[in-house]
Amino acid sequence: MPPALSATDFITFPPEQAALGQLLFYDKILSGNKNISCGTCHHPKFGTSDGVSLGIGEGGVGLGKDRHGGTGHARIERRVPRNALALWNLGARDVHTLMHDGRISRADTYNNGFNTPAEEWLPGGLNSLLAAQALFPLTSETEMAGGTGENEVAGAVYDRIDKGWPIIAKRVRSIPEYGHRFVAAFDHINTPKDVTIVEIANALAAFQALEFQSYDSPFDRYLGGDEGALDASQKRGKALFFKAGQCASCHSGPLFSDQKFHALGLPPFGPGRTRRFDLIARDVGRMGESDDIADAYRFRTPMLRNVALTAPYGHNGAYANLADMIHHHGDPVGRFDSWMPDDAGLPEVPWLRSVDFIIMQDKAEITRQRRGIAPIGQGLTVSNIDDIAAFLKALTGATLDTPPLGVPSTVPSGLTVD
Ligand code: HEC
Ligand code: HEC
């Protein structure tokens, strides 16, 4: 069993910065077309994710399963290619690798402390891995930036990845309430003019690190010595998880992740995360980042606290419930072959219907993906699966309804809050 997680495992940030980050996290001012915030895809109502297998980014309307592809010229052209990750416990000091493919990590590849898609263009002064990450949704055409020609941020990003950030920073610091709050929260900021994207990212990191800490689940109480915190089924599930099922060989340590990459063979669909020379809508996972053939179709092991709240599951949300996701671990090849599009529950976007599952018709690619599946966790029977699912439900925090800061009712830009 892993050691317990506690407050001392987390990076601490000034509370004024976290409070400022709360407003920014839910403020659509950070998106090119001012129509989506971080909170739209990482909402507490959906366990800090978005409740769907593949999300609908900027241009979409609504929240969770009710979100649709928008209308008129603003409507979406493609889906977000991967399932929105939950944000629990990412402020823990031990977290070194973010994203399904690990493309944002702590490393000194570019002499700036982080290995990110911005390479040497990443600004200095970022206070954490979470701060480095916060810069990238802003530059993504489908997530927040919008299409070139639609707004000044998207146009600048098209030119070079770092060029949109000063435009966003200027938008934010020009709003008087933000200007004052940055001066109050950061020692080195003397006037609103000093605010750059770095302080914005640092505030977003401070908020996420504080707000989404969660280690008071029944299982955490059990780790603390309260034998009665788990019922009989959860205890059986726990034994399977840590012993026979070997789940903890990958979902290891206090965070339930080795932060490494494995090929589970989730059935592919959606636009894929195509690279420049990819002709098909596929997602090669870690290999897209490492260029190492051994990493083909591998994805980072997800952390599992509050996992009962973050359906659908897997890097593309291929499974709508925990039992099916666990079942897949026990019989990955069988499930790869028998999976049906309805298992994902992809929200309908009529004009994307013809491309959503097009990858499944590419026999050569499907054969390659099937061949890449690594054998794992054999011998899970149905009652085993129910017990393991019961155990995973015991990883849900007890005080999620009373977070430190919550969703603000209004934000300084005056834009709507989701
Ligand atoms: C359109 C939906 C969308 C929006 C908006 C969005 N995200 Fe995300 N977020 C995602 C998806 C999808 C992923 C996983 C992407 C991948 O791994 O390729 C992700 C991943 C992350 C991660 C990595 C989590 C982990 O475990 O590695 C963090 C942190 C994060 N987002 C924070 C933010 C912040 C901060 C913002 C606002 C600046 C934001 N997101 C805006 C969809 C979104
Ligand atoms: C070989 C490493 C490995 C083992 C062993 C393993 N997992 Fe996983 N697990 C992963 C990876 C990798 C993913 C993500 C796969 C993807 O997105 O393509 C995952 C995904 C999951 C998810 C979905 C989480 C989410 O947020 O989407 C759950 C739940 C899960 N595993 C539970 C288990 C259970 C229960 C066991 C034991 C029966 C287990 N895992 C054994 C590597 C492993």
pLDDT of residue 244: 85
Arithmetic mean of pLDDT, 367-376 = 91
In a domain, 1, yes or no: no
Kindly tell me the sign of the dihedral angle through the C-alpha atoms of 323, 2, 263, 318. Answer: positive
Residue 263 and residue 181 share a domain = no
Q: Does ligand 2 come within 6 angstroms of the Cβ of 246?
A: yes
Q: What is the CATH number of the domain that holds 313?
A: 1.10.760.10
In a domain, 98, yes or no: yes
User: How many domains is the chain partitioned into structurally?
Assistant: 2
pLDDT of residue 38: 98
Residue 336 and residue 378 share a domain = yes
Q: Which residues of 279-298 are buried (b: 16+ CB within 10 A; e: fewer)?
A: eebbbbbbbbbbeeeebbbb
Assess whether pLDDT exceeds 90 at residue 277.
Answer: no
Arithmetic mean of pLDDT, 73-99 = 97
In a domain, 412, yes or no: no
Assess whether pLDDT exceeds 80 at residue 347.
Answer: yes
Residue 356 and residue 299 share a domain = yes
- Closest-CA residue, ligand 1 atom 5, reads 38
In a domain, 399, yes or no: no
- Closest-CA residue, ligand 1 atom 3, reads 41
Q: Does ligand 2 come within 6 angstroms of the Cβ of 377?
A: yes
Residue 386 and residue 263 share a domain = yes
Residue 201 and residue 244 share a domain = no
**Domain residues for 140?**
10-49+84-211
Residue 225 and residue 202 share a domain = no
- Closest-CA residue, ligand 2 atom 5, reads 247
Residue 322 and residue 360 share a domain = yes
Residue-wise pLDDT for 202-218, tens only, equals 999 999 999 999 999 99
Residue-wise pLDDT for 124-144, tens only, equals 999 999 999 999 999 999 999
DSSP per-residue letters across 268-313: P-SS----TT--SS---BTHHHH--GGGTTBEEPPP-TTGGGS-SB
The token pair at 252 is: 């290891």
Residue 256 and residue 135 share a domain = no
Q: Which residue has the tokens 């898609």?
A: 117
The token pair at 310 is: 């973050």
Assess whether pLDDT exceeds 90 at residue 275.
Answer: no
In a domain, 314, yes or no: yes
- Give the number of other Cβ atoms within 10 Å of residue 93's Cβ: 11
Residue 260 and residue 133 share a domain = no
Closest ligand by atom to 31 CA: 1
In a domain, 161, yes or no: yes
Arithmetic mean of pLDDT, 75-102 = 97
Residue-wise pLDDT for 372-414, tens only, equals 998 786 778 888 999 999 999 999 999 999 999 999 999 999 9
In a domain, 44, yes or no: yes
- Closest-CA residue, ligand 2 atom 10, reads 301
Residue 145 and residue 267 share a domain = no
In a domain, 70, yes or no: no
Residue 170 and residue 244 share a domain = no
Domain boundary pick from 190, 211, 232: 211
- Closest-CA residue, ligand 2 atom 32, reads 326
The token pair at 106 is: 């702590």
Residue-wise pLDDT for 155-183, tens only, equals 999 999 999 999 999 999 999 999 999 99
Residue-wise pLDDT for 295-339, tens only, equals 999 999 999 999 999 999 999 999 999 999 999 999 999 999 999
How many angstroms separate the alpha carbon of residue 132 from the centre of ligand 1?
12
CA distance linking residue 31 with residue 37, whole number of Å: 7
pLDDT of residue 333: 94
CA distance linking residue 255 with residue 301, whole number of Å: 11
Arithmetic mean of pLDDT, 352-369 = 95
Cis upstream peptide for 218 (omega within 30°): no
Closest ligand 1 atom, CA of 204? 35
pLDDT of residue 335: 95
Ligand 1 pocket: which residues have CB below 6 Å?
30, 36, 38, 40-42, 55, 57, 80, 82, 84-85, 87, 90, 98-100, 130, 133-134, 137-138, 143-144, 204
pLDDT of residue 8: 96
